[in-house]
Structure 1
Amino acid sequence: MPETAPFTSAARIRQAALHGQRTPSRQAAPPPRESGLRGVLKGLLRTARPKQWVKNVLVIAAPAAAGRLFSIHALTQLALVFALFTACAAAVYLINDARDAEADRAHPTKRRRPVAIGQVPVPVAYAVGGVLAVLAPAAAAWLTAPSVAALLTAYIGMQLAYCVSLKHVLVVDLAVVTTGFLMRAMAGGLALGIPLSRWFLITTGFGALFMVSAKRYSEAVQMAGKAGATRALLTEYTTGYLRFVWQLAAGVAVLGYCLWAMEEGGDPHTDVLPWRQLSMVAFILAILRYAVFADRGTAGEPEDVVLRDRALALIGVVWLAMYGMAVANW
């Protein structure tokens, strides 16, 4: 039967809803925002990405590996380094979002960021980010070892360079993100004056590269054909290359950990079991389990992968227990 009357606006909206489509007006509608000082403060907190702060727990890696985690001095220093690293990361996020505000407004998800929607004015984001970028290393120089202040300064410089240009350079972008994780793992050891084992650095660095490249591979798989819409550089990588990177990184991380465990083995006359060597089994199983998600193209944020998979979380707990007993010489 031919149509007897054209669709009205309401009819078009109803038909779009029936077909699961979004109307143009709904697509263009800006997300709600709070105004006033309270809104700005809440927006600054959101821009600091609280969910990402869990990455800074890596500052305990070196002290834990050396068995120097449980003392008042160590805990105080590590809490301070955690806070300073969080401030540095927040500074980078604020400056990055202020710089990319215009581009973010055209992005389907980034347009909801507080700076993009105007909840946090661009000058305010720049100002707060700049203050944190200066104060955090200064506080580190005053309250911790000079090497920690130097590390934080280098971290901020590297991350700002990443925001401006390095995130558009093939391979270098992977190296910069990986180095950020490695710097976190080094910071705790530097704060407490703990010598950093070369095997610790190799294992941590390539373990971080494994997770970073697995995440990039998953993004490339999920956004095949439209990768440039979320991360322009993904159009330059092939999934085969990213697969090669995470497989290579996983292999080197396993090799580094095994050599570390064998070199740092305990005294066979006092240890009940060779826990450090036995922990290699749990470590390898954790890599293999994580690789399942990488292979499927579902390895997003590392913390999300671990928390949503009970088997991987259990393997992680077993590894921590084994390594803890090795450090305690049980």
Structure 2
Amino acid sequence: MKFSTLLSAATAASSYIGFASAAPVTNFKRADSEYFSVITTHSASPVHLRGVVVKDNGLYLSSSGTPFVGRIDAKGGLAVGGTNSFVSTGDQGALVVGDAVTTFWARDGNSLKLNGEAYGLACPQDNGDYKLYWAKDTQPCSNGLGVSFYSSDTKAPAESEKPTETQGACSIVWVHSSEDESENSAATPEATSKSETTKPADTEKFGLISIRSGSDLQYLTVNIYRGTFYLGPSGGSDFEATIQDGELVYINGANQPIYGYVYEENSQIAFSENKDQSKAVWSVEDGNLALDGKQNAIACPAAQAGIYQVYWASNGFTCEGGLGVALKVQPSA
């Protein structure tokens, strides 16, 4: 074999950072995978069913940033959004986005794994975000939460939605555009992004069911009783609402709209005729009800067996026997 051929092969191999001592996992794909999004799972915790985003050249759980869309290429690299950027393990196992590539990523069913193993860790940040790590042999934080990465197939990013890199910085910026925008439009990318963040898409009428695998709370219908959420036979009526301009809108028995908010003193979900009562934004994230992009519902046992009151534990609220749940949106008939 010619020296130039060997050099080319070595150069190509050196551009990928892999695990030389480990055998490839059995489901490692040699062909490019479909595009997929990722959420984290850790039952009864603030990081359960949270969507992974790209932010500050890394992967985070955050109400800001770009929703992560990736695919696994033929060499096992985890590519970001159809670009030339990849996810790799950086300092202390931090999941970073840039030119470097860590190989042997694979999807084991819906679980995203590296080298056939799962060592996800979410470390809380001072601003309320969680920075994501692959902490196999490291301990980047003392109060981190172990997470699994659950992947779901999604469509490929459109040309107008693909991340672009700023020169020399490998910084991911999400570019939004619209076919009907004129070249002289006064709208800026910053204004468009802010608008989309603060005003999620309006919804049709929907109900809610609780999701908590392996528990009595799995697939219970959310009902409204005395102005708040319950699971089980509370005597209330099935909850149905819409989201309009970020407001959770419920039509009461008097056929009047009332608006959902979280009462800060006790984390109870409540409703008011005053739509300005809540300063937060309701939305549907990964098919579940979210507030300011976060899913913090917790079901607390009521005095009567089989009934649970649902709270929103955004301020660290806990209760004896409480279980974190996802509130899955179910379109009304």
Which TM class, normalised by the smaller chain length?
Answer: under 0.3
Q: Which has the larger radius of gyration?
A: 1
Greater strand content: 2
Q: Which has the higher contact order (CA 8 A, sep 6+)?
A: 1
Q: TM-score, normalised by structure 2?
A: 0.24
Q: TM-score, normalised by structure 1?
A: 0.24
